[in-house]
Amino acid sequence: MIKFTIITLFREAVEPYLKTSMMWKAQDKGLAEFDFVNLRDFGLGPHKSVDDTPYGGGDGMLLRCEPVFAAIESVKAKDPNAKVILPTPVGEIWTQEQARAFANGEFEKIRCRERSGALAQVLLPPSNFSNSPANAHFIILCPHYEGYDERILSIVDYKVSLGKFVLTGGELPALVIIDSIVRLIPGVLGGEQSAEIESFSDGDNLEYPQYTKPYDFRGMTVPDVLLSGNHGEIAKWREEHSGTI
């Protein structure tokens, strides 16, 4: 069972997706659990404030340490082994290898850039989906507003970036991270092969083109080899039509 506790000010932006399709199925089968902590509950003063202006000046507001530490510590008080993920544009770029490592419980092998002191090392877990699913608890802290006080990093285990662009907050990255991990847990997707032979399952590979009925759609026909029933030829065609990035 993988558990995610999402610390956010905007639960309503995150929850509907987790109640849909595969994420719902994963919960229903007892393979994943999602919990929410409202950062506002740990806010300061009568207005339950969670942010303030940056020292040294500059635009926007930063998440303060006190509410964030209190929220994370409230979760860790119940589960000291829970690991904290922070979506941030300055994190390590999220990849399929990392998603697989988290799904397989090999996440200890992924080390943050600042912890390893060098370029982040991602030690690949065996790409073997018969591994027992991880028993793990991740706390995903969703920053919002302009940013966060740098001291918050002292309580973070993994900084994750989705790419070279900036989003308004951590809610969308949290969903992307969760979805990419949970779909790899054995039993969540229909056939386990669905995840084994897809794009990035072996590094930089891109999956071969696929077709379903009808055979002829507006003059665009399906490659005949796929209807041949010859599994060897089909495998060869797929191999030839797989790409790399």
Q: Which chain residues interact with ligand ADE by CB under 6 A?
A: 87-89, 161-163, 165-167, 170, 173
Closest contact distance (angstroms) between CB of 89 and ligand ADE is 4
Q: Which is nearer to ligand ADE, 91 or 133 (CB)?
A: 91
Closest contact distance (angstroms) between CB of 98 and ligand ADE is 13
Name the token pair of 172: 């969308």
Closest contact distance (angstroms) between CB of 59 and ligand ADE is 15
Q: Which is nearer to ligand ADE, 17 or 208 (CB)?
A: 17
Tally of CB atoms within 10 A around 91: 19
Q: Which is nearer to ligand ADE, 141 or 188 (CB)?
A: 141
Q: Which is nearer to ligand ADE, 129 or 158 (CB)?
A: 158
Closest contact distance (angstroms) between CB of 156 and ligand ADE is 12
What ranges make up the beta strands (E) of 94-189?
136-141, 147-148, 158-161
| Residue from 138, 139, 94, 143 nearest 120 by CA | 94
Backbone angles phi and psi of 227, in degrees to 5: -100, 0
Q: Which is nearer to ligand ADE, 95 or 194 (CB)?
A: 95
Please calculate the CA angle 208-213-214 and round it to the nearest 5 degrees: 120
Closest contact distance (angstroms) between CB of 94 and ligand ADE is 8
| Residue from 180, 202, 2, 8 nearest 94 by CA | 180
Q: Which is nearer to ligand ADE, 131 or 161 (CB)?
A: 161
How far apart, in Å, are the Cα atoms of 100 and each of 56, 96, 143, 182? 41, 6, 24, 9
Closest contact distance (angstroms) between CB of 177 and ligand ADE is 9
- Scored b (16 or more CB within 10 A) or e, 107-123 reads beebbbeeeeeeebeee
Residue nearest to ligand ADE (CB): 87
